[in-house]
Amino acid sequence: MQFLGVYIREAHAIDGILPERQSGTWLMGTGERGLTIETPLSIEERRDLARRCALEMELGFPFLVDDLGDAVEAAYAAWPERLYLVDVDGTVVYKGEKGPDGFSPDEFEGVLDELVSFYAGTLGAAR
């Protein structure tokens, strides 16, 4: 199983589509983390932000950076966050609901478990 993170448009950049309003009530937690982020304007800025993000979250897998045209994000309708599982033959096996409500690591883990046992079963049968 290969995990790939894809860094896309910021969910709550202050000049973005859904800024977290900072009237003293922090809605989505970025305030608690002390994050005031403006939309990155170049691929280098995006990469820098992605790097900070990967560091803070201790991401254990590669973090790809989508281009400024948000092409991959658009192809996967992934904003603000989403999980997909792609099978070995290149087809989508699991498509998570868009986050944050749909971002369910538990559900994802369930799917992973199924996939793993499927492959294990196949391997067992092959012996």
Q: Where in 64-93 is the site for other proteins (CB under 8 A)? A: 64-67, 71-93
Which is nearer to other proteins, 1 or 125 (by Cβ)?
A: 1
Among positions 4, 45, 68, 120, the unique one binding other proteins when judged by CB under 8 A: 4
CB 114 within 8 A of CB 93: no
Say if CB 39 and CB 10 are below 8 A apart.
yes
Site for other proteins, residues 88 to 127, rule: CB under 8 A: 88-95, 97-99, 103, 108, 112, 115
Using CA atoms, how far residue 119 sits from 4, 114, 124, 127, in Å, is 20, 9, 8, 13
Least distance in Å: CB of 121 to other proteins? 15
**115 φ/ψ sector (left φ>0, alpha ψ -120 to 50, else beta):** alpha
Touching other proteins, residues 38-67 (CB under 8 A): 38-39, 41, 47, 49-54, 56, 62-67
